[in-house]
Structure 1
Amino acid sequence: MVLLLLATLLVGWRILKPAEVLATSDEPYPLLVVSAPGVLGRINLAPLIIEDRLRVYAAKHQIRADEPVYGNSVYTTRWSLRRWPEQLSGVVASGATVISRWSDGELVAVDGRTGKIVWRQESLAAPDYAGHRTGAATVWDPPGLRIAAGAVVVAEGQTLAGYDLSTGAERWRTTVAAGCTDGFTTIGGVYVCATGAYDVTTGQAVPNWPVGPFTAVGCSVANSGCAGFRDAAGRGWSTASSSPRRTFTLDRPDSTVADGLVVSTANGAVTAYREDGTALWSRPGEGRVLGGVPGRVLVFTADHHLVGLATADGHELFRFRLAYKKEDDLWDLGGLMVSDHYLAIERRRKDGPDDPESPIYYYNTDTVLLVGL
């Protein structure tokens, strides 16, 4: 009996003891493949798309990658990092560098091509995994984790810290007002939250910033690299530099920035504007602008079609139904990621419960739609 008890304890210790397992890859980096516009497939996890070559997924205790980007299934793991009992709090990427934040506050950067660790850094305490079934919240909107201008910005409570993206070295740390955790970064290199704005290179407060709270527009994944915002008064601003520039066409609550243009969907038309506020082009039809990629503005229509409009003149480049084979359209948009050549959409059941843990919250089991652009 004593020997059985000891054996049980030993097995339990081996299973539950703290451990980190890293699996790397020596395979060649996948070639860039550009798919024709259309629905490619559906999978059950939300991918963070790396340079249009790899997909990275989040789980409670693990980050892992697979390929190809255009695959209609989740494939054999290319590389992975598992940390037990720590939980994966968030993931961001710049180029091929993938940075993960863990519940013990550790930042771990890996080379997305191989999975090998590039650097690791102790940082601020982090919240537990909140990605639910698909991991979308962890890879597409990680709490308190942003990137901009070669920096990784981490927010926790009333502390904001910036780390060098290439080395992990801490650049700065500062105390901020309450309510500054859920911010965004701009293409001009500023971290913006409801209570202030901070230069991501120095951590210094940016003077004469408009008054928040703010609505960010034209953002890439992880609320980073946003091209503009609206302030508390609803006034629009562009963020190409560290000092925001007043942009009246962004005053419209339905407007955003896509491929460098201010685009509005008011009055039953999609309209793009020049910097002086005059219309560059306009096309009839209601829809929601999902973003822009080089040469194209992406519009999601009420009848669940994706339309690609040429940035230069608005002419229609493609139009197709967002459905895999014979699926219906009884779903609403959840999270999404737009890369240069691919789009991933998390679909939520239309009129479903507002609870990601509900078995009928998501549209179906393979609820993430993969789309070629």
Structure 2
Amino acid sequence: MLLRGSAAAFLLLATVLVGWRILKPAEVLATSKTPYPPLVVSAPGVLGRINVAPLIIEDRLRVYAAKHQVRADEPVYGKSVYTTRWSLRRWPEQLSGVVAAGPTVITRWSDGALVALDGRTGRIAWRAEAGAGPGYAGHRTGAATVWDPPGLRIAAGAVVVTVDHQIWAYDVSTGAERWRVTAPAGCADGFTTAGGAYVCATGAYDLATGKAVPGWPAGPFVPAGCAVARSGCAGFRDGASRGWLADAPAPRRSPALDRPESTIAAGLVVSAGNGVVTAYREDGSTLWTWSGQARLLGGVTGRVLLLTPDHYLVGLDVRDGRARYRFRLAYRKEDDLWDLGGLMVSEHYVAIERRRKGGPDDPDSPIYYYTTDTVLLVAL
């Protein structure tokens, strides 16, 4: 009996120790010593499909979000997910959001930690503390965490974190706190402009100083021409539905952007409606038109990107509106029974999250996404 009791006690102790090792709070960092991948520009077309949404870093590598981990792989043009290049896991904290500026990848966690990683190596560049972030909301693909993270924006060398009525701004290169302000209600989840402002329903704040920008139009605002994470937006519409360009510290009126179906792509104000895509000069006059039903996806240098109803991607030349390429958004023999979910457009690549056409609205449903590998990778 004594031996049996001792054995049982030993097994219980071993179980407790193993459980503690697995579940105890821990941070595990895996870095990379291999050279930073070179920039490779692929010919326009569909490259592959993967099951997670990538945050594309300098068109050189891909960063993915999971509930307790951020990780990277390469190459960007790879047709599937490859061996992890670097990763950071923090247990039991949850990953709230990820943004990037150049090669610097900034992660926000549920305990309020901001951890910046050098995307080239995965090494920690700096740490800072802000208010507690929300839990992981990326669902199966992680798209919401890397493409539209709540309360996390970036522009003008600053990363902005919002919690309730508090707004923090940190320097991207060092992690030093630039400023902290208490904002009115309705300012928790705004956007940043290419001209260096954080904009929310009640006004705008200078990203360098945190001071309210004088002479700003009245909100609420609708951003236009934004990069990933509603950051670096090129323009917006104000509370009176008037359009403004926001590529400089002081916004400039843009009557062409008054149209609710218009946005800014590749430096142009572009609208799509009634079967015509129209690009406008800064004075509001028409620069060119393209006939056809399409949805504006954004723009890259020299091209305006369209998605047609039959799932073709069209790249229009910014100078004359002519189609420079047109190809079907399908991997091999896939059908077109999907709707656009989220997307990220980089300079040479785009990632498209696809929802099942006619499927449920619940991202946790097994039939919410188009396929298991629901994110399409496309070269521009």
- Report TM bin, short chain: over 0.9
The residue that corresponds to 1:18 in the other structure is: 25
Distance 2:312 2:144 in 1: 24
Q: Deviations over 1:302-339 (max 9, x none)?
A: 11100000011111100011111111111111110000
Q: Does 1:326 pair with 2:333? A: yes
Distance 2:81 2:152 in 1: 26
The residue that corresponds to 1:58 in the other structure is: 65
TM-score by length of 2: 0.97
The residue that corresponds to 2:13 in the other structure is: 6
Distance 1:340 1:293 in 2: 5
SS in 2 for 1:34: coil
Distance 1:244 1:274 in 2: 17
Query: Which of 255, 260, 284 matches 2:262?
Result: 255
Displacement after TM superposition at 1:213 (Å): 1.6
Q: Deviations over 1:27-55 (max 9, x none)?
A: 01111111111111100000000000000
Distance 1:341 1:90 in 2: 24
The residue that corresponds to 1:357 in the other structure is: 364
Q: Deviations over 1:55-80 (max 9, x none)?
A: 00000000000001011110000000
Q: Deviations over 1:220-274 (max 9, x none)?
A: 0010000011112211111011221110000111101011100111231111110
Distance 1:251 1:302 in 2: 25
SS in 2 for 1:11: helix
Query: Which of 337, 346, 353 matches 1:339?
Result: 346
Query: Which of 287, 293, 296 matches 1:286?
Result: 293
SS in 2 for 1:177: coil
SS in 2 for 1:222: helix
Distance 1:10 1:331 in 2: 48
AA paired with 1:213? P
The residue that corresponds to 1:308 in the other structure is: 315
Structure 2 counterparts to residues 144-293 of structure 1, below 5 A: 144-293=151-300
**Percent identity of equivalent pairs:** 76
Q: Deviations over 1:171-198 (max 9, x none)?
A: 1100001121111000000011112211
AA paired with 2:235? G
Distance 2:48 2:257 in 1: 35
Structure 2 counterparts to residues 12-91 of structure 1, below 5 A: 12-91=19-98
SS in 1 for 2:290: strand
Q: Deviations over 1:121-169 (max 9, x none)?
A: 1111100100000000000000000001100100010000100110001
Q: Structure 1: which 5+ residue stretches go unaligned?
A: none
Displacement after TM superposition at 1:210 (Å): 1.6
The residue that corresponds to 1:119 in the other structure is: 126
Deviates more, 1:204-213 or 1:347-356: 204-213
TM-score by length of 1: 0.99
Distance 1:184 1:351 in 2: 31
Q: Does 1:98 pair with 2:134? A: no
Distance 1:281 1:14 in 2: 64
AA paired with 2:324? L
SS in 2 for 1:153: strand
SS in 2 for 1:334: strand
Q: Does 1:128 pair with 2:131? A: no
